[in-house]
Amino acid sequence: MQNAHVLLPDALVVLAIVIASRLGDFCSEASNRRLTYFAALLSSTAAGVGFAIQASDSHQYYFFSRTIVIDSFASVMKAGVSLGFAAALVYSRKYLEDRELFRDHVFLLGMFSLLGQLIMISGNHFLMLYLGLELMSLSLYAMIALRRDAPQSSEAAIKYYVLGALATGFLLYGISMLYGATGSLELNEVLKAVASGRINDAVLLFGVIFIVAGIAFKMGAVPFHMWVPDVYQGAPTAMTLFVGGGPKLAAFAWGLRFLVMGLLPLAFDWQRMLVILAALSMIVGNLTGIVQLNVKRMLAYSAISNMGFVLLGLLAGVVDGKAGGAASAYGSAMFYSIVYLVTTTGAFGVIMLLARRDFEADTLEDFKGLNQRSPVSAFVMMVMMFSLAGIPPTVGFYAKLAVLEATMRAGLTWLAVLAVVTSLVGAFYYLRIVKLMYFDAPQDTTPLAAGACNRALLSLNGVAVLVLGIVPGPLMTVCLQAITQTLPR
C-alpha cells in the first residue's frame, strides 16, 4: 500500500458519500439538501481534477488482491465521468428545484452511481466489474423512479430495471462459463489462460457471447437497445442526463476491460459479433431518429447510433490475428466516447435551460425561434448538433474521422461506407433542430431564466467542442498514450 496515494481521488468520493449520508443528523432538511448538493459537486470536481493529474503516470498500480487497477486509461476515463457528473449537477439544479426533486437522496444516489462508474473503469476482476455495474445501475433505477407524481418515470424505471436484470443474468452466466474454463476471475490470469490455447474453445465462445450481450445492453447497442428510448423519454430530463452521460463513458471502459484486457486472444470471435452490433446500431439509430418528434427520444436514437461508432473502434483493433493497430483503433474509440460525453452533456444542458416548472421543453416545437429568445443558447445547441452530426469544425467531425480511419485500416471498407451513409441520413434530424431555432418563429416568448453558473458552463461547453475540433491533437495524444500503456503486453 505504499502507492495508496493514487486512490485519493476515489477515496474523496467515498468520503463525500459518508459525510452526505450523515448530514441529516446535524442540520435542517433545507440545509441538508444544499450541503449534500455541494458535497457532490465539490467532491466530483476535485476527484476529476485529481484523476486528470494522475493521467500522466504511466505505471500500473494494483490494490485489494489485484481486483482494482489504477493506470493511465483508468485515470483519463475517471476524470471524464467525474467532471461530467459535476457538469450534470450544475445544469440540473434549477430543473430539480422547479420539480421539488432537489433532495439530498437524489445527490446521494448520484454519488453512489459515480462510485459505481469509477469501480467499473478500474476493475481488474470479473466480480469487481460486476459490482461496479450493479452499484451504478441500482442507483440509476432509483433516481429515475423518484418523481412519483409522473407515471412515465415509474414506467421508465421498471423497464430499465427488468431489462437490466436480464442483461445482468447474461453477463453473470458468461462470467461463470469463463471461470469454469479458465479457473480464474482476474483479467490478467484469464488472458494468460486463454492465450495458452489449452482451453475448450466451445466453452470460451459461449462465455464470450453472453458477455458481449451484457456489454451491448449497457452501451445501448442494437438489438439490446429497447430500453434506451423509453428511459430517455420517460425519465425527468436531469435523470436522463445522469443516465446518458457518464454511464456511457463508463460502459465503454467496462467493455474494454472485459474484451481487450481479459479476452484479447479471442478477438476474432468477439469482433465478428461487434460488426453486427455496430452495423445494426448505426442503421436503426439513424433511420428511427428521423421520425422522432420528442427531442429526448431523438437523442436516445442518436446515442444508439453513436455507440455504433464506438463499437467500430473496438472491432478494428486486431487484424488477421495481429494487434499492431490496436492502440490506434482503441484510442480512437476512447476519444469518440469522451467527445460524445462532452457533446451530449451540453445538449441536455440546453434542454433543461428551456424547461420551466410544469413545462418539459422536450419536443421539437419547443426549439422554434430559440435564436430570438437566447442567441447564446441557440448557438451552443447548434454547435452540439453539428458535433453529433460530424460537421466540421466541431470535434465530432474529427472523432468520426478517426474511427473511420481505424475501420479502413482494418480492411472493413464496407462498414466504413455504411457508417458514412448512415451518418448522412442521421444529419437530417440534427440539422432539423438548427433550422427550427434559426428560421422558425418562436411559439413561446418567455425569457430564459439561467443562473450565472449555468450560462458560464454552457458557454464553456460550446467553446470546448469547437476548440477540440480545431485542435484535437492533445486529447487524442492523451487517449493513444493511455491505451498504449494499458494494453496487455
Query: What pLDDT score was predicted for residue 281?
Result: 94
The tally of CA atoms less than 13 A away on the side-chain side of residue 485 is 21
For 382, residues 6+ apart whose C-beta sits below 8 A from its C-beta are 434, 437, 438
Q: Which of 62-71, 263-272, 321-330 has the lowest mean pLDDT?
A: 321-330
Contacts 24+ apart (CB under 8 A), 179-187: 179/126, 181/207, 185/125, 185/126, 185/127, 186/66, 186/67, 186/124, 186/125, 186/126, 187/124, 187/125, 187/126, 187/257, 187/258, 187/261, 187/262
* Tens digits of residue pLDDT in 153-197: 888 889 899 888 988 999 999 999 999 888 889 998 988 988 887
For 219, residues 6+ apart whose C-beta sits below 8 A from its C-beta are 248, 251, 252, 255, 307, 310, 311
- The model carries a pTM of 0.94
Q: How confident is the model at residue 476 (pLDDT cuts 50, 70, 90)?
A: very high
Predicted confidence (pLDDT) at residue 447 exceeds the cutoff of 80? no
CB 300, CB 237: distance < 8 Å? no
CA distance 295 to 289: 10
Q: How confident is the model at residue 1 (pLDDT cuts 50, 70, 90)?
A: low
Q: What is the CA radius of gyration of the chain?
A: 21
Predicted confidence (pLDDT) at residue 410 exceeds the cutoff of 90? no
Predicted confidence (pLDDT) at residue 10 exceeds the cutoff of 90? yes
Cell of 362: 422536450
With 0-12 / 13-18 / 19 or more C-beta atoms within 10 angstroms meaning exposed / middle / buried, residue 148 is exposed
Question: CA torsion sign, 206 to 209 to 212 to 216?
Answer: negative
Q: How confident is the model at residue 306 (pLDDT cuts 50, 70, 90)?
A: very high
Query: What pLDDT score was predicted for residue 397?
Result: 94
Q: What is the biggest distance separating any 2 CA atoms in the chain, rounded to whole angstroms?
A: 70
Nearest to 195, CA basis, from 254, 261, 275, 257? 261
How large is the average pLDDT for residues 276-284?
Answer: 94
Q: Which of 110-124, 168-182, 441-455 has the lowest mean pLDDT?
A: 441-455
CB 219, CB 252: distance < 8 Å? yes
Percent of the chain with pLDDT over 70: 99
CB 442, CB 372: distance < 8 Å? yes
CA distance 162 to 170: 13
How large is the average pLDDT for residues 49-74?
Answer: 90
Cell of 388: 453529433
How many residues belong to the chain?
Answer: 489
CA distance 185 to 127: 7
Question: CA torsion sign, 168 to 138 to 240 to 395?
Answer: negative
Predicted confidence (pLDDT) at residue 42 exceeds the cutoff of 70? yes
Mean pLDDT of the chain: 89
CA distance 121 to 151: 33
* Tens digits of residue pLDDT in 353-403: 888 777 787 888 888 888 888 888 899 999 999 999 999 899 999 999 999
For 191, residues 6+ apart whose C-beta sits below 8 A from its C-beta are 261, 262, 263, 264, 265, 488
Query: What pLDDT score was predicted for residue 134?
Result: 93
